[in-house]
Structure 1
Amino acid sequence: MNTKKLSIAYVTPVLLSFFVMSFCDLVGIGVDNAKADFQLSNTLAQLIPMAVFAWFFILSVPVGILQDRIGKKNMLNIGMLLTAIGLVVPYFVYSFPVLLGGFALLGIGNTIIQVSANPLLIDVVPSKRASSFLSLSQFVKAVGSMVAPYLATVFALRFGDWKLIFLVFGGVSILSMAWLHFSKIEETKSKEQKATVVSCLKLLGVGYIALMVLGIFFLVGIDVGINASSGQFLMEKLGMDAEPAKHGRSLYFFGKMLGTFIGALLLTRFSARKFLMGSALATLITMVAFVFSPTNLVALVLMFAIGLGASNIFPLIFSLTVEKYADRANEISGLMIMAVAGGAFIPPVVGKVTDLMNVTAGMFVLIACSVYLLILSFYTLKK
């Protein structure tokens, strides 16, 4: 068990990597602007989140195995370097194929960051504070997700180029990488045999782990689905103007930011399992209410509420799983982040249903994902 004292000097650079982790949420901005710039259909525009999140399915387990050998900090720095490159390239060469390539590189870097940052954070905080700090890390991530749409708008209005956000976030990635590199963090090393692809995938034969991994898959599907599709829903269903509709996702991320901050405080006192059930129930209720919003104002308030409800589900699922199988943390981290591929598979389903039927029908795909999370929360409470 990790009983080390809390050190701000070690925690802070690791937490900053979660700000870099938020840069994958640029997919929403990318979808909106690429669709307008290159005249794309809904289905084609959703290739952007697929270009980012498909890598979580492909690379998460191999990254978990590699970091078992070279260390979490080294792996995390590699991820932030690739993120910086993926952000800078599309700024200088702006075409749809290059933009897809840049987002793909962003996805590869982000996959590595997510596999490495969560277990590294657990290494640098006392074990009894793990759930609380994982929620705090999601607060830091939500800050980046929330400010990105506003920065893109400011750059577009003031300088005529929304892509300047790529340069700014690329610079932050490099600074974060340098800070972490010079931090002398002592990592917890597995006492078991080194992880392999087979040992990772065998864990999916454990029912508890498999269901929790699937929970992450649907949760990220909701997160990216809201990010990529909410603007279109607000414009087509409620007739909202384009810019206010795009800013709606900032309210969602503000809800996530506030929710993770509150969660970090409450989880020092309340049961993680009961907190998960309350969060899943709130997510489902607010998702259903959002789809049937009667006015623009109600819809925007409910976007905030969805973010608030869903904000702590990822760290809760992650910490509850690692808590139960602490000696398999690297392998579980790889599997959990592999499930982030839900962000690649769910939004295209939403886009296809929207093209075949309408935008409201597309949002019901996200409601179905919310139903699973509620069922999962009851399962974890019983266990």
Structure 2
Amino acid sequence: MNTKKLSIIYVTPVLLSFFVMSFCDLVGIGVDNAKADFQLNNTLAQFIPMAVFAWFFVLSVPVGILQDRIGKRNMLNIGMLLTALGLVVPFFVYSFPVLLAGFALLGIGNTIIQVSANPLLIDVVPSKQASSFLSFSQFVKAIGSMIAPYLATFFAVRFGDWKIVFLVFGGISIISVVWLHFSKIQETKANKERATIHSCLKLLGVGYIALMVLGIFLVVGIDVGINAASGQFLMDKLGMDVEPAKQGRSLYFFGKMLGAFLGALLLTRISAKKFLLGSSLATLLAILAFIFSPSNVIALMLMFTIGLGASNVFPLIFSLTVEKYASRANEISGLMIMAVAGGAFIPPVVGKVSDLMNVTAGMFVLLACSVYLVGLSLYTLKKSE
């Protein structure tokens, strides 16, 4: 068990990696701008989030295994370097294929970051504070997600190029790599045989783990779906102007940021399983109300509420699963991050339904995902009885 004292010297550079982790949320801005710049339909535009999040399905388990050999910190730095590269490439060569390639590099880097950052954070905080710090890390991540649309708009208005945000975030990635490299973190090592692809995938045969992995798949699908499709929903259904609709997603990320901060505080007092139920119910009700929003103002308020409700679902599912199967933490981490591929598969479904029917119908895909999360939270409560 991790009994070490809290050290800001080690925690801070690891938390900064969660800020870098937020850069994958540039997919929403990428969808909106690429759709306009290259005259894409909804289905084709949603290939941008697929280019980012498909790698979670392919690489998470192999990255976890490689990490077991070269260490979490080294693996995390590789991920942040690839993130920087993925951000810089589309700035200098801007075409739809190159943009997809850049976002693919961003996705590969982000896959590595998510596999490495979560367990590394657990290494540098006391075990009793792990759930709280995992929620706080989502607060840090949400800061980057929230400010990105405003930065893109600022650079578009001030310098005529929204893509300057890529250079800024790429620079922050490099700074994070240097800082973490010189932080002498003592990583915990598992006292067992090294993880293998077989040992990881075999855990999906455990019902509880399989259901929790699917929960991660769907909550990330909701997160990326709201990010990628909300702008189009606000413009098509409610007639909102382009820039306010793009910036509306910042309210969603502000809700996530505030919710993660409050979650970090409340989880010191409230049962994680009960908190998961409350968060899932809030997400379900907020998405349902958002779909039937009668006005722009109410829709924007509900985007904030969705973010507030969904903010802690990912870290709660992650920590509850690792807590129940602590001896398989490395393998579970790989599986959980593999499930982040929900961000690749759910948005294209939303886009396809939107093209076949309308953008409102597409949002019902996200509602169905939230129904599962409520059922999953009830299941975890029942298992604790």
Q: TM-score range, shorter-chain basis? A: over 0.9
Question: Does 2:53 align with 1:67?
Answer: no
Aligned twin of 2:141: 141
Aligned twin of 1:162: 162
Q: Secondary structure at the match of 2:137?
A: helix
Aligned twin of 1:184: 184
Letter in 1 for 2:159: F
Aligned twin of 2:120: 120
Aligned residues: 383
* Mapped partners of 1:252, 1:352: distance in 2: 23
Residues 84-112 of structure 1: CA distance to partner in whole angstroms, max 9, x if unpaired? 00000110011100000000000000000
Q: How many angstroms does 1:325 deviate by?
A: 1.0
Q: Secondary structure at the match of 2:237?
A: helix
* Mapped partners of 1:327, 1:119: distance in 2: 13
Q: How many angstroms does 1:195 deviate by?
A: 0.3
Q: How many angstroms does 1:293 deviate by?
A: 0.3
* Mapped partners of 1:45, 1:205: distance in 2: 35
Aligned twin of 1:49: 49
Mapping of residues 372-383 of structure 1, within 5 Å:
372-383=372-383
**Structure 1: runs of 5 or more not aligned:** none
Q: How many angstroms does 1:134 deviate by?
A: 0.2
Question: Does 2:25 align with 1:25?
Answer: yes
Q: Secondary structure at the match of 1:6?
A: coil
Letter in 1 for 2:313: I
Letter in 2 for 1:78: I
* Mapped partners of 2:245, 2:193: distance in 1: 51
Question: Does 2:120 align with 1:109?
Answer: no
* Mapped partners of 1:191, 1:206: distance in 2: 22
* Mapped partners of 2:288, 2:314: distance in 1: 20
* Mapped partners of 1:47, 1:232: distance in 2: 15
Residues 315-363 of structure 1: CA distance to partner in whole angstroms, max 9, x if unpaired? 1000011111111111111100000000000000000000000001000
Aligned twin of 2:212: 212
Letter in 2 for 1:118: N
Aligned twin of 1:342: 342
Question: Does 2:309 align with 1:309?
Answer: yes
Q: How many angstroms does 1:26 deviate by?
A: 0.1
* Mapped partners of 1:305, 1:60: distance in 2: 30
Residues 51-76 of structure 1: CA distance to partner in whole angstroms, max 9, x if unpaired? 00000000000001110111100000
* Mapped partners of 2:161, 2:359: distance in 1: 29
Q: Secondary structure at the match of 1:238?
A: coil
Letter in 2 for 1:335: L
Aligned twin of 2:322: 322
Q: Secondary structure at the match of 2:293?
A: coil
Aligned twin of 2:234: 234
Residues 134-187 of structure 1: CA distance to partner in whole angstroms, max 9, x if unpaired? 000000000000000000000000000000000000000000010000000000
Aligned twin of 1:247: 247
Q: How many angstroms does 1:246 deviate by?
A: 0.6
* Mapped partners of 2:242, 2:166: distance in 1: 21
Residues 18-51 of structure 1: CA distance to partner in whole angstroms, max 9, x if unpaired? 0000000000000000000000111110010000
Aligned twin of 1:34: 34
Structure 1 runs of 4+ off > 4 angstroms?
none
* Mapped partners of 1:321, 1:197: distance in 2: 19
Aligned twin of 2:197: 197
* Mapped partners of 2:69, 2:360: distance in 1: 47
* Mapped partners of 2:137, 2:327: distance in 1: 22
Aligned twin of 1:293: 293
* Mapped partners of 2:292, 2:23: distance in 1: 30
* Mapped partners of 2:295, 2:43: distance in 1: 27
Residues 202-234 of structure 1: CA distance to partner in whole angstroms, max 9, x if unpaired? 000111110000000000000000000000000
* Mapped partners of 1:326, 1:24: distance in 2: 29
* Mapped partners of 1:53, 1:276: distance in 2: 24
Aligned twin of 1:352: 352
Aligned twin of 1:370: 370
Q: How many angstroms does 1:192 deviate by?
A: 1.1
**What is the percent sequence identity of the aligned residues?**
85
Q: Secondary structure at the match of 1:193?
A: coil
Aligned twin of 2:221: 221
* Mapped partners of 1:133, 1:365: distance in 2: 31
Letter in 2 for 1:229: A
